[in-house]
Amino acid sequence: MNDIDKNASTIGMGGHLGPTTSEEGYRQKMKQRQQVQRKRLEERRKEKGLVILFFGNGKGKTTAALGMALRTLGHGDRVAIVQYIKGGWEPGEAKALRLFGESLNWHALGEGFTWETQDRVRDKKLVANAWQQSLIYLQNKTHKLVILDEINVAIKLGYLALEDVIEGLYSKPSMKHVVLTGRGAPKELIDQADLVTEMKLVHHPFREQGIKAQTGIEF
């Protein structure tokens, strides 16, 4: 059997390479893929500021947003983070990111979980203050990335009008990126966003094993 026959025999219905593909066949396949990827990149030269949404019941929404913050800071651009609802404690990320000094503006403008505060009027006022601070960062030209952490929760609870949030997103400079996180994202926001990732819960040690929230994992 020659190399072509061997290669054909190891490619499944989906076009994937099998484990017995010859080295020459593998190189040919990767060369074809390289050409396809280069063509895709050439066709995608447009840049724009993105609206990015991380939502869902799974863990990792804020973590993903902060990963983007770290990446942006690493490129020498400024980042602003406004946390809704959260604020009853200082997370490890806030301590670590202080190293970036004035390149990062971090505002934790809540007082913790709503079942802990038990004061809807005060929570609503804090959210209103957080939104006004968010608008400053959304509309200026100094910050490349703005993260609105747990804003989806504030919208879901009725503390913040969805229409105001969408209008605020439209008011940003064209090259500014915005990340919105939190459970319960409304469909209208999902439709407006450029990049949407849903975090799905499969297992969680807090619920299933009775393991408490731990430093470095949850905060």
Domain for residue 29, yes or no? yes
Residue 115 or residue 164, greater confidence: 164
Which tokens in the block code for residue 218? 């949850």
Same domain, 104 and 37: no
Domain for residue 218, yes or no? no
Same domain, 23 and 66: no
Same domain, 122 and 169: yes
Domain for residue 216, yes or no? no
Q: Is the pLDDT of residue 36 over 60?
A: yes
Same domain, 21 and 63: no
Q: For position 102, what pLDDT does the model report?
A: 93
Same domain, 76 and 38: no
CATH number of the domain enclosing 67: 3.40.50.300
Domain range for 39 = 3-43
Residue 29 or residue 176, greater confidence: 176
Same domain, 35 and 95: no
Number of domains composing the chain: 2
Same domain, 36 and 64: no
Strand, helix or coil for residue 60: coil
Domain for residue 215, yes or no? no
Q: For position 94, what pLDDT does the model report?
A: 81
Sign, CA dihedral 163-165-166-168, equals positive
Same domain, 38 and 82: no
Task: Write out pLDDT tens, residues 6-18.
Answer: 444 444 444 454 5
Q: For position 215, what pLDDT does the model report?
A: 67
pLDDT-derived band at 83 (thresholds 50, 70, 90) equals: very high
Output the pTM of the full model. 0.77
Give the span between the Cα atoms of 169 and 49, in whole angstroms: 10
Q: Is the pLDDT of residue 43 over 90?
A: no
Residue 47 or residue 177, greater confidence: 177
Average pLDDT value over all residues in the chain: 84
DSSP string, 93-137: HHHHHGGGGGGEEEEE-S-S-HHHH--HHHHHHHHHHHHHHHHHH
Domain for residue 213, yes or no? no
Strand arrangement of the beta sheet that strand 79-83 belongs to: 104-108, 79-83, 145-149, 177-181, 51-55, 195-198
Residue 31 or residue 162, greater confidence: 162
Same domain, 83 and 123: yes
Q: For position 211, what pLDDT does the model report?
A: 77
Question: Which of 197, 208, 157, 203 has its CA nearest to residue 61?
Answer: 197
Same domain, 146 and 200: yes
pLDDT-derived band at 56 (thresholds 50, 70, 90) equals: very high
Same domain, 38 and 55: no
Q: For position 206, what pLDDT does the model report?
A: 67
Same domain, 17 and 72: no
- Side chain identity at 35, as an amino acid letter? Q
Which tokens in the block code for residue 103? 């390149």
Q: For position 109, what pLDDT does the model report?
A: 83
Q: Is the pLDDT of residue 89 over 60?
A: no
Give catalytic residue positions: 57, 59, 61-63, 71, 113, 115, 150
